Amino acid sequence: MSVIEGINEANQKELFKKYEAKYKALADQLRLKIMYELNQRGQVCVCDLTEIVELPQSKLSYHLKILLDADLITREKIGTWNYYRLHEAEVRGLLSEELCCIFYPEKK
Amino acid sequence: MSVIEGINEANQKELFKKYEAKYKALADQLRLKIMYELNQRGQVCVCDLTEIVELPQSKLSYHLKILLDADLITREKIGTWNYYRLHEAEVRGLLSEELCCIFYPEKK
DNA sequence: TTAATATATCAAATAAAATTGATGTACATA
DNA sequence: TATGTACATCAATTTTATTTGATATATTAA
């Protein structure tokens, strides 16, 4: 079932709330930059990202959490490091093709 | 020139700032609902919209201004009325096809 | 076991956005 | 000209988001 079918009063509110949360996570320069860098580099650990985006660690962690909670990125723990990467399908479902390949990669 | 070509340090910041503003405007349930209704109805005046979305007039005006400033909708004054409609091309360039035809119409 | 590194989380302070009610302006109609 | 309607804008308040610096936890290395 496509998104538009099945819209009724009850669904609507939920749907708008969902997209509000997603777009809210995207609506920030820093976070877009993070997405851009993750897209460029694939998998990146926080320690590297701190240098790439030049943010204090706690601030970066804060913004990563927002992206993670919105399901726009994923986290994988490997030893001491936390590696983040884009949640490609999710971002693709949100942003126009015009934004390929800034914030998500070209389709393989 | 596509968006991705011509990205350099100087462009980048501007680009992210631009998308921040656009997505910020979209990042709100009420405003998404307004977009949805405009998409359903084409051209709508504020007086009708007040009833459709059930918002006090000043609140609606506030949110319309945000969408207008972000260039996501347009305004046309006809007599006493201000008619708003989607800025279709702009929204299409921002949102994934998955969001057709909730927040923007099918391509003719 | 101690120390160092990687990272998340917390509390306090600050900043930005949204809401509310009131006021102002333009146009239309009596 | 006086009244009503359609809106935008403003100032004050409330709510939400962001920043900052400090602390806590887990893992690794000495």
User: If DSSP codes are grouped into helix, strand and coil, which group holds residue A50?
Assistant: helix
For residue A77, give the H/E element and its range: strand A73-78
Q: Tokens for A34, please give them.
A: 């993070």
Closest nucleotide to the alpha carbon of B64, via C1':
D8
Q: Mapping DSSP to helix (H, G, I), strand (E, B) and coil, where does residue B78 land?
A: strand
Report CA(A17)–C1'(D21) in Å, whole number.
Answer: 34
Q: Where are chain A's structural domains?
A: 28-99
Range A28-99 classified under CATH 3.40.1080.10: no
Q: If DSSP codes are grouped into helix, strand and coil, which group holds residue B34?
A: helix
Question: In B1-108, which residue ranges form alpha helices assigned H by DSSP?
Answer: 9-26, 29-41, 46-53, 57-69, 88-92
Residue B25 half-sphere exposure, CB side, CA atoms within 13 Å? 23
| Contact status of B96 with chain A (Cβ, < 8 Å) | yes
Spell out the CATH class of B9-99. Answer: mainly alpha
The verdict on B12 touching A (C-beta cutoff 8 Å) is yes
Question: Which pLDDT score, from 0 to 100, does residue A6 have?
Answer: 65
Contact across the interface for B13 and A29, Cβ inside 8 Å? yes
Q: For residue A56, what are its two tokens? A: 């204090």
Record: contact A29-B16, CB cut-off 8 A: yes
pLDDT tens-digit series, residues B3-59: 766 678 788 999 999 999 999 999 999 999 999 999 999 999 999 999 999 999 999
A61, burial (CB in 10 Å: exposed 0-12, middle 13-18, buried 19+) = middle
Tokens of B86: 């989607």
Judged by a CB distance cut-off of 8 A, whether residue B24 touches chain A is: yes
- Per-chain mean pLDDT for chain A: 95
Could you check whether the bond before residue B100 is cis, i.e. omega within 30 degrees of 0?
A: no
- Nearest CA to B19 out of A91, A11, A77 is that of A91
Q: Do A3 and B27 touch (CB under 8 A)?
A: no
**Min Cα–Cα distance to chain B from A29, Å:** 5
Nearest nucleic acid nucleotide to B55, CA to C1' distance: C19
Q: For residue B108, name the pLDDT band (cuts at 50, 70, 90).
A: confident
Which one-letter amino acid corresponds to residue B5?
A: E
Q: Which residue has the higher pLDDT, B38 or A6?
A: B38
d(CA A42, CA B60): 42
Order of strands, sheet of A81-86, starting from the edge strand that comes earlier in the sequence: A44-45, A81-86, A73-78
Q: Which two tokens stand for residue B92?
A: 């299409």
> What's the number of CA atoms in the CB half-sphere (13 Å) around residue B31?
25
Over residues A72-105, the pLDDT tens digits come to: 999 999 999 999 999 999 999 999 999 999 999 9
